[in-house]
Structure 1
Amino acid sequence: MSGHNQFALLKQRRFLPFFIVQALGAFNDNIYRQAIIGLLFYLGVSDEERTLYTNLAPALFILPYFLFSALAGQIAEKLEKQRLIVITTAMEIVIMSLAAIGFLTQNMPVLLIALFCTGLQSTLFGPVKYSVLPSILKPEELTGGNGLVEMGTSISILTGMIAGGMIFALAGSHGPMVAAVAIIALALFGNITARMIPRVDAGAPALKINWNPLTESLAVLRMAKKHKAVRNAILGVSWFWFFGTVLTSQLPTYAVVNLGGDETLYIFALALFSLGTGVGSLLCEKLSGRIVEIGLVPLGAFGMSAFLLDLYFARTGTVTISDLNGFSFLQQPGSWRIVIDLLGIGLFTGFFVVPLFALIQSRTDKSEMSRVFAALNIQNSGFIVLAAVLGLLTQNLLGWSVPQLFLALAIGNVLVAVYIFSIVPEFLMRFLSWVMVRTLYRLRVHGVEANVPDEGAALIVCNHVSYMDALILSATIPRPVRFVMYYKIFNIPVMRWIFTTAKAIPIASPKENAALMQRAFDEVDAALAEGELVCIFPEGALTKDGEMATFKSGVEKILARRPVPVVPMALKGMWSSMWSRRDTRLGRMRVPRRFRAHVEVVAAPAVDGASTDAAQLETLVRALRGDQA
C-alpha cells in the first residue's frame, strides 16, 4: 500500500485512454464556449447583444441536462460502455463540424444551436464518465482514480478557457479559421483515443428504456434516494457545483472591482482556484490511505468556509487602482493572502468532492450506477441554475457586493455541511475516527482492499489488543462495519457517541448480562441478513500479555445461524501502542510511552463460514499476526 502511486494508472490502458477522452472533452467544450465570446468581441457587437448571448449560451448548454439526463442514464446502463463512449465522441465530431461552419460564416444562431448539441453530447457522456470507473478500477483505486479525473477536469476547464479566449486575441482575422480547425481536431483526437478504451460491460443490458423524460427523471431521482449515504453524497456533490458556480461566476467582477485587475486577472484568480482543486483532488488518496474515506468530506467543507471567510476579510471593499495583471497584482500589499485563500478554497474543495464521488460509486449497484449519476446530473444542473439566479438577485435586488456574497456563501456552506452531517452522522464519525487514528498511529494496511468483499454480508474476525481496535479497523475498511464489542468499552465517554453512530453492538458475558448477550447475537444475525459487515473479537477480552487468547465459541454460534463468508484479520504492533494493557498493573487504561506507533492491519482471503470453526479461524489469525500483537 505504501508504495502505491496513483499516477501509475496513467501508464495503464484500462485508465489512460478514458482519462484522455474525458479531459479532451472538457478542454474542447471550454475552448468552444470561450471562442464564441471571443467572436462576439471580434465582431464588435453592442454591449446589450453581447450580454444577451453570454447569458443565453450557458442556459442552452445546461438545458439538455434537464431534458435528457434520465434517457442518457438508461442508455449508459443498457449499452456496453466503451461503445457508448465511441458513439458520443463521434457525435462530438459532427457537432464541432457544425460549430466550425458557424465560426467560418460568423453565424451566431448556428453556433448556439451547436452549443445546445454540445450540451446534449455532454449529457449522454456524463453518466458514463463516473459509472465506468468502478468497472476499470479496483476498490482501493477509486479515490485515486477520481482524484485524477477531477484534477484532469479542473485543469482542462482552465486551460480550455485560456486557449479559447486567446484564439481571437492572437489570431486576429484568422480567428474563425483557427477556432474551427481546433475544435474539429480535438474532437477527432478524442474519438481516436476512445477506440483504445478496453471493453466495459453494460450494467443492465436487459433494461427496457422508458422514453418519457418526465416519468423517468422522477424514477432515477427516487432511485438515487434509496441509500441514505448515497442520497446525501449526491446532495453534497450538487452543493459543490452550487458553491463553485457562485464563486467562479463572481470572480470576473471581483478581480476588477475588488482587486483592481484587468481582464486577465480573472483568469489568474480562476487558475489559483483550479490549481488548488487539482492538488486537493490528488491528495485525497494519500490522506485516505487508499480507501473511500468520507471523513475527508467534513474537513473539506469546513476548510472551504474558513478560507472563503478569510477571503471576505482580506478585501471587503473596492480599490482605487486598476488594470493590474497577475504579476503586478502580486506586488500589492495583502495580495499573497488572497492567493493563499483562493488556493485553500480549491484545495479543500478537492477534499470535499472526490470522496463523495468515490462513495457513490462504491455503494451503488453497478446495474443502477449510470442512472444514479444521471439523477446526479439532473440535480447538479438545478443547483447550477439556482446559483446563477441567486447571484443575480442578491446583487441586483439586494445590492450585495461580491465580498458580501462570499461571506453569505461561507456561512451557507457551514449550514449545509452541518445539515448533511446531522442526517448522516457516518460522515462526521468517519472524520473524527480519521483524525484520531491518523494522529495517534502510523498505519500500514495489507490485503484489506482485496479480501474484504465490496458488497454482501461477511463476518470479520480479528485479535483484540487495545481499546482503539474497532476505531482502527473502521478507518481501514472501506465499507461501514458493525462491531461487536464489550459493553464497558462501548460505554467509554466520547467514544460511545462514535460507536453508537457506527451502530456498534455491545455485548456482555452470560454471567454479567445474559439478556444483553442474547440481544447482541440477534443484532448480529439481523445485520448479516441485511448484507452488512460485522466484526467480532473472538478472544472475548483485551490481551493482558500481548499474546492471543483462545477464540471462544461465540463465532461458531453466529455462523451456525447464518454461515456467511469469514474474513480473518490481524492487528500488529498495537501492544506497544496507545491504550493497550501493556505495563498496566491495576487493569486500568493508561497512556503508554509510545506515541505514533507503527501499526499494521492485515487481512487474509475469506473462508467459507459453513465449513470453519473457532480453532481454524484462530490459526489463520495467528498466522497473519506473526510474532507481534
Structure 2
Amino acid sequence: MTPDSDRHSQFELLRQRRFLPFFAVQSLGAFNDNVYRQAIIGLLFYLGVTPEERTLYTNLAPALFILPYFLFSALAGQIAEKLEKSKLIRITTAMEIAIMSLAAAGFLMQNMTVLLVALFCTGLQSTLFGPVKYSILPSVLKPEELTGGNGLVEMGTSISILIGMIFGGLIFQIAGSHGPVTAATAVVALAILGNVVSRMIPRAEAGAPGLKINWNPLPESLAIWRLTRKQLAVRNAILGVSWFWFIGTMLTAQLPTYAEINLGGESRHYIFALALFSIGTGVGSLLCEKLSARTVEIGLVPLGAFGISAFMLDLYFARSGAAPMHVSTIAAFLQLPGSTRIVIDLLGIGAFTGFFVVPLFALIQSRTPKGELARVIAGMNIQNAVFIVVAAVVGIAVQRFLGWTIPQVFLALAIANTLVAIYIFTIVPEFLMRFLSWVLVRTLYRLRVRGIEQHVPDDGAALIVCNHVSYMDALILAASIPRPVRFVMYYKIFNIPVMRFIFRTAKAIPIAGARENPELMQRAFDAIDQALAEGEIVCIFPEGKLTKDGEIAAFKSGVERILEKRPVPVVPMALRGMWASMWSHRDNRMGRMRVPRRLRAHVEVVADAPVDGRGATAEGLEARVRELRGDAA
C-alpha cells in the first residue's frame, strides 16, 4: 500500500491554483526588484559618474530600500490581517506597476533622484507584501504541506534574485545606448505580468477582518513585537530567521571583494560565487520536505545551523589568503588549488541555510494563531531589518577598523553562528530534542505513514490511541504526525536515561498504575484534561504496557475516563512492523544484541477516521486498532 509521503510531492503544488499563482507572483517580484537595483548600478556606469558618486549611490540604495520596513511594517501587518489576502496581493502588485512606471521615467530621464525615490517606494511595496507573503501559506496549504510550500518559496526567491541580478547587470552591457529604454521597458513589463498573474490567486480569507487599525507606528510596532514573543518557540524561531538574514547579509556583502581578492579578480567570479550560494539554498530548501517526511520538522534547524558553521569554517581554510594568481575565466579559477573546496563550501553553506530557515518559517506559521500571523510576520520583518543593518555596519567596521580580511570575517561568522545556535537551542531545547529524535528515527527505521494527512485534524483537540510495541513508539509517532503531540507514557519509560531529556522536552506526561502511585496517576489525568482543553493532541497507549508477545492486549478503561470528562475526537492508530524491530520484547536480552538483523526495520504508522468521543468505548477503540494493525505485528 502506498504511503502518504510517497504519494505526494511538493512539486505537485506547482500544478495547483491554490499555490502556483502566488508562487509566480512572489518569484516575479523578487526577480523584478533585483533587475531594477542592478539596472541602477548599470546606469551609474553608463553615465560615467565618478567612483565616489557611485559609492555614495550604491550605499544609499540599500538604506532607502530597507527604511520602509522600520516605518511601515506595523501598518502592513495590520492591513494584511484585516484584508482578504488575494485582494491585498492584487493591490500591492498594482502599486508595483505605478512604482515601476516612475522608475521607468527615471531611466528614460537618466535621473538618479527619481530612481532613488522609486527605490524607496519599492521598499514600501515590499513592506506591505511581506506579511501577506508568509501568512497566506497556512491559509491555502495543509499543515503537512507547509514545509514543502515554504521550501518552494525559498527556492523560487533565491533563484529569482540570482537571475534578476544577472539580467539587470547585463542590460546596459548588452543594450548599450538603448540601455535606459530596455531597463524602463523591462521593469514595467515585469510589474504588469505580476499583476496579471496575481488575479489568478484564489480567495484567502482575512485573519482578523474585524481588527481596528492603529495608524500610530510606534505603539503598534511595540504591540506586534510583543506578539512575536508570546510563545517561546515562535520567539526563538523569529530570532533564528533574523540571524539567517544577518549571516546572509554578511556573506553576500563580502562576495564582491572576496571574488576580486580571493577568487581571481573578475566580476564574473562574484556572480559565480553568488550562484553557488543561491543554488545551494534552493536545493537545501527543496530537500527539507523529503528529510522531514512532510511534517514541520524543527529537528532540521540544529542540523542546518551546525552545517553552516562547518562549511563556513572550511571556507576559511580553503583559501585564507589571496588567490595564487589572477584568472579571467571560471574554468581557470577551478584549476587553482583549493577552488574545488570553495565551490563545495559555498554550495554547502547555501544548502544548510535552507535546512535552517525553511523549518523556522513553517514553525512560525503552524504555531501562531491565524488571527495574529500577519502581524507576527510584520514584527519579524522589523527585527530582520535591524539585523540586516547591524550586519552591514559590522561588516564595514571589522574590515576598516580591525583590518580583518574577508576569510577572517567568514571564520568569525562560523564561530558566532555556532554560539548563537547553542544559545537558541539552550533556551528552547525543543529544537535539539526534535533533532535527536529525527536522527534516531531515520537512522534506525524505514518509516512509512498512511492516513495521517486525512484523519489527524489540522487544529483543535484530539486524542490518539495506539498499540504499544516498543520503547521507541512515541518517537515514531512524533515523527509521523505533523502537529506537536503530548504523549502519555509509563513513568519507567519516561525516566530512561537520555530518552528522558527528549520526553520531558516534548512535554510528555508520565503515568503510573493506581496501585503503584495513585497520586502520579491523578496528576497525569489532570494534565491530559488540561492539554485537551487547550486544543492540543494527546496520545495514549491504552494497553498500559509493552506487548510481550506481539499481540494487542485489552484496552484499559482509562481512555473512557478521559473522554467522560472531555469528549474530544479519537483518532485510532496502529504501529505495524515494530515487533521485529529493536527495543521490543520479541527477543531476550542476548537476542537484542543482533543489531544488523533489526537495524533499519520497515515500520508503518496507519491512522483511521476519528471516532466521536461521546460514544467511544475502550472495547470499540481496541477493535479499530486491531483492524488497522492486521497481521503486520
Q: Aligned to 2:600, which of 586, 593, 596?
A: 596
Q: Which runs of 5+ in 2 are unaligned?
A: none
The alignment status of 1:37 with 2:51, answered yes or no, reads no
Q: Which residue of 2 aligns with 1:27?
A: 31
Is the partner of 2:597 in helix, strand or coil? coil
Listed one character per residue, the Cα deviations across residues 54-85 of structure 1 (whole Å, up to 9, x for unaligned) are 00000000000110011111111111111111
- Amino acid aligned to 2:366: S
Q: For the Cα contact (< 8 Å) 2:327–2:333, is it kept in 1?
A: no
Q: Provide the C-alpha distance between the structure 1 equivalents of 2:102 and 2:589, rounded to a whole number of angstroms.
A: 81
Listed one character per residue, the Cα deviations across residues 236-279 of structure 1 (whole Å, up to 9, x for unaligned) are 11110001000000011111111223111000000000000000
* TM-fit CA distance, 1:591: 5.0
The alignment status of 1:54 with 2:95, answered yes or no, reads no
Q: Provide the C-alpha distance between the structure 2 equivalents of 1:303 and 1:566, rounded to a whole number of angstroms.
A: 40
Q: Which residue of 1 aligns with 2:370?
A: 366
Once the two structures are superposed, the pairs formed by residues 445-524 of structure 1 within 5 Å of their partners are 445-524=449-528
Listed one character per residue, the Cα deviations across residues 524-548 of structure 1 (whole Å, up to 9, x for unaligned) are 2222223222111000111111111
Is the partner of 2:500 in helix, strand or coil? helix
Q: Provide the C-alpha distance between the structure 1 equivalents of 2:255 and 2:157, rounded to a whole number of angstroms.
A: 19
Q: Provide the C-alpha distance between the structure 2 equivalents of 1:452 and 1:442, rounded to a whole number of angstroms.
A: 21
Closer, same or farther in 2 for the Cα pair 1:177/1:585, shift >3 Å?
A: closer
Q: Provide the C-alpha distance between the structure 2 equivalents of 1:176 and 1:326, rounded to a whole number of angstroms.
A: 30
TM-score (norm 2): 0.97
Q: For the Cα contact (< 8 Å) 1:278–1:347, is it kept in 2?
A: yes
- Amino acid aligned to 1:133: L
Listed one character per residue, the Cα deviations across residues 187-235 of structure 1 (whole Å, up to 9, x for unaligned) are 0100000011111111111111110111111111111111111111111
Listed one character per residue, the Cα deviations across residues 97-135 of structure 1 (whole Å, up to 9, x for unaligned) are 000000011000000000000000011111111111111
Q: Which residue of 2 aligns with 1:610?
A: 614
The more displaced of 36-45 and 328-337 is: 328-337
Is the partner of 1:122 in helix, strand or coil? helix
Q: Which residue of 1 aligns with 2:581?
A: 577
Q: Provide the C-alpha distance between the structure 2 equivalents of 1:416 and 1:130, rounded to a whole number of angstroms.
A: 25
Q: Provide the C-alpha distance between the structure 2 equivalents of 1:105 and 1:480, rounded to a whole number of angstroms.
A: 57
Listed one character per residue, the Cα deviations across residues 350-405 of structure 1 (whole Å, up to 9, x for unaligned) are 00000111111111111111111111111111110010010011111111111111
Q: Aligned to 1:256, which of 242, 255, 260?
A: 260
Q: Aligned to 1:413, which of 399, 405, 417?
A: 417
Q: Provide the C-alpha distance between the structure 1 equivalents of 2:464 and 2:409, rounded to a whole number of angstroms.
A: 49
Once the two structures are superposed, the pairs formed by residues 114-263 of structure 1 within 5 Å of their partners are 114-263=118-267
Listed one character per residue, the Cα deviations across residues 22-41 of structure 1 (whole Å, up to 9, x for unaligned) are 00000000000000001001
* TM-fit CA distance, 1:587: 11
- Amino acid aligned to 1:469: D
Q: Provide the C-alpha distance between the structure 2 equivalents of 1:246 and 1:585, rounded to a whole number of angstroms.
A: 54
Listed one character per residue, the Cα deviations across residues 296-325 of structure 1 (whole Å, up to 9, x for unaligned) are 000000000000000001111123522433
Q: For the Cα contact (< 8 Å) 1:577–1:592, is it kept in 2?
A: no
* TM-fit CA distance, 1:512: 2.1
* TM-fit CA distance, 1:622: 1.3
Once the two structures are superposed, the pairs formed by residues 508-547 of structure 1 within 5 Å of their partners are 508-547=512-551
The more displaced of 573-582 and 321-330 is: 321-330
Is the partner of 1:611 in helix, strand or coil? coil
* TM-fit CA distance, 1:480: 1.9
The more displaced of 317-326 and 49-58 is: 317-326
Is the partner of 1:575 in helix, strand or coil? helix
Is the partner of 2:604 in helix, strand or coil? strand
The alignment status of 1:355 with 2:359, answered yes or no, reads yes
Q: Which runs of 5+ in 1 are unaligned?
A: none
The alignment status of 1:112 with 2:116, answered yes or no, reads yes
Is the partner of 1:98 in helix, strand or coil? helix
The more displaced of 193-202 and 473-482 is: 473-482
* TM-fit CA distance, 1:475: 1.3
Is the partner of 1:443 in helix, strand or coil? strand
Q: Aligned to 2:313, which of 309, 313, 320?
A: 309
CA RMSD of the aligned region, Å?
A: 1.4
Report the identity percentage: 77
Q: Provide the C-alpha distance between the structure 1 equivalents of 2:583 and 2:513, rounded to a whole number of angstroms.
A: 22
Corresponding residue pairs, total: 629
Is the partner of 1:470 in helix, strand or coil? helix
Closer, same or farther in 2 for the Cα pair 1:348/1:586, shift >3 Å?
A: closer
Is the partner of 1:512 in helix, strand or coil? coil
* TM-fit CA distance, 1:510: 2.0
Q: Provide the C-alpha distance between the structure 2 equivalents of 1:231 and 1:454, rounded to a whole number of angstroms.
A: 22
Q: Which residue of 1 aligns with 2:448?
A: 444
* TM-fit CA distance, 1:592: 7.8
- Amino acid aligned to 2:473: D
Q: Provide the C-alpha distance between the structure 2 equivalents of 1:331 and 1:415, rounded to a whole number of angstroms.
A: 35
* TM-fit CA distance, 1:555: 0.9
Is the partner of 2:261 in helix, strand or coil? helix
* TM-fit CA distance, 1:138: 1.5
Q: Which residue of 2 aligns with 1:77?
A: 81
- Amino acid aligned to 2:111: N
Q: Provide the C-alpha distance between the structure 1 equivalents of 2:263 and 2:609, rounded to a whole number of angstroms.
A: 58
Q: Provide the C-alpha distance between the structure 1 equivalents of 2:66 and 2:523, rounded to a whole number of angstroms.
A: 53
Q: For the Cα contact (< 8 Å) 2:324–2:336, is it kept in 1?
A: no
- Amino acid aligned to 1:46: T
Q: Provide the C-alpha distance between the structure 2 equivalents of 1:212 and 1:325, rounded to a whole number of angstroms.
A: 54
* TM-fit CA distance, 1:469: 0.2
Q: Provide the C-alpha distance between the structure 2 equivalents of 1:468 and 1:337, rounded to a whole number of angstroms.
A: 39
The alignment status of 1:393 with 2:397, answered yes or no, reads yes
Is the partner of 1:558 in helix, strand or coil? helix
- Amino acid aligned to 1:69: S
Q: Provide the C-alpha distance between the structure 2 equivalents of 1:462 and 1:211, rounded to a whole number of angstroms.
A: 51
Q: Provide the C-alpha distance between the structure 2 equivalents of 1:482 and 1:590, rounded to a whole number of angstroms.
A: 32
Q: For the Cα contact (< 8 Å) 2:142–2:458, is it kept in 1?
A: no
Q: For the Cα contact (< 8 Å) 1:261–1:325, is it kept in 2?
A: no
Q: Provide the C-alpha distance between the structure 2 equivalents of 1:328 and 1:115, rounded to a whole number of angstroms.
A: 38
Q: For the Cα contact (< 8 Å) 2:583–2:592, is it kept in 1?
A: no
Q: Provide the C-alpha distance between the structure 2 equivalents of 1:535 and 1:561, rounded to a whole number of angstroms.
A: 16
- Amino acid aligned to 1:93: I
Q: Provide the C-alpha distance between the structure 1 equivalents of 2:628 and 2:224, rounded to a whole number of angstroms.
A: 44
Listed one character per residue, the Cα deviations across residues 310-354 of structure 1 (whole Å, up to 9, x for unaligned) are 000111112352243322211212211100000000000000000
- Amino acid aligned to 2:597: R
Once the two structures are superposed, the pairs formed by residues 546-561 of structure 1 within 5 Å of their partners are 546-561=550-565
* TM-fit CA distance, 1:456: 2.5
Q: For the Cα contact (< 8 Å) 2:77–2:378, is it kept in 1?
A: yes
- Amino acid aligned to 2:409: L
Q: Provide the C-alpha distance between the structure 1 equivalents of 2:63 and 2:237, rounded to a whole number of angstroms.
A: 26
* TM-fit CA distance, 1:515: 2.2
